[in-house]
Amino acid sequence: MSNSQPVFSVAQCPHRLLLDQIADKWSVLILGALCEKPLRFNVIKRQLEGITQKALTQSLRRLQRNGIVERRVIATSPVAVEYEITPLGRTLKEPFQALYNWTMTYLPEVERARLAFDLEINDLREAYQPTA
């Protein structure tokens, strides 16, 4: 988005790192939960109502691989596993907050645009098939 810079090819685009690996559907929510304090697997699962075990495992593994969360096994019986956000993970708060703020500020404007767009589409449809 910066002016007078070359456009990145997709493969190299640094945004992809964030978008694909860290800022995806579930990860933002997981990080939001872990931001306050470390949590165990099923606690996260309960907080993110709707996520499957598979999806949670995958997201957590990916975040761990990227150094965003830390996985710690507690040798009780049955075993407990705690996930904690890393210092690196905490640095995400600023850019995510910027995104969040944008959405809060401009969501109404976006919704107006959608309404207008969809209306226009319907008008065109009606003009094409006047009596349905």
Partner DNA sequence: CAGTATCCTCTGAGATACTG
Partner DNA sequence: CAGTATCTCAGAGGATACTG
Binding site for a second copy (CB under 8 A): 1-5, 7-11, 13-20, 23-26, 28-29, 31-33, 35-36, 47-51, 64-67, 88, 91-107, 109-110, 112-114, 116-118
Q: How far is the CB of 131 from a second copy (least distance, A)?
A: 27
Helices in 21-92 by DSSP H: which ranges? 27-36, 41-47, 53-65, 87-90
Nearest alpha-carbon partner for 59 in 37, 26, 87, 85:
26
Q: How far is the CB of 42 from a second copy (least distance, A)?
A: 15
Determine, following the binding rule CB under 7 A, whether residue 128 of this chain makes contact with DNA: no
Encoded tokens for 22: 């860290």
Nearer to DNA by Cβ, of 3 and 12: the residue is 12
Interaction partner, residue 7 (a second copy, DNA, none; CB < 5-8 Å by kind): a second copy
Interaction partner, residue 79 (a second copy, DNA, none; CB < 5-8 Å by kind): DNA
How many helices (H) and strands (E) in the chain? 6, 3
Angle at 72 between CA 70 and CA 78, to 5 degrees: 145
Determine, following the binding rule CB under 7 A, whether residue 33 of this chain makes contact with DNA: no
Encoded tokens for 57: 């495992």
> Measured between alpha carbons, how far is 109 from 107 in angstroms, rounded to an integer?
5
* Options 11-19, 38-46, 91-99, 103-111: segment touching DNA (CB under 7 A): 38-46
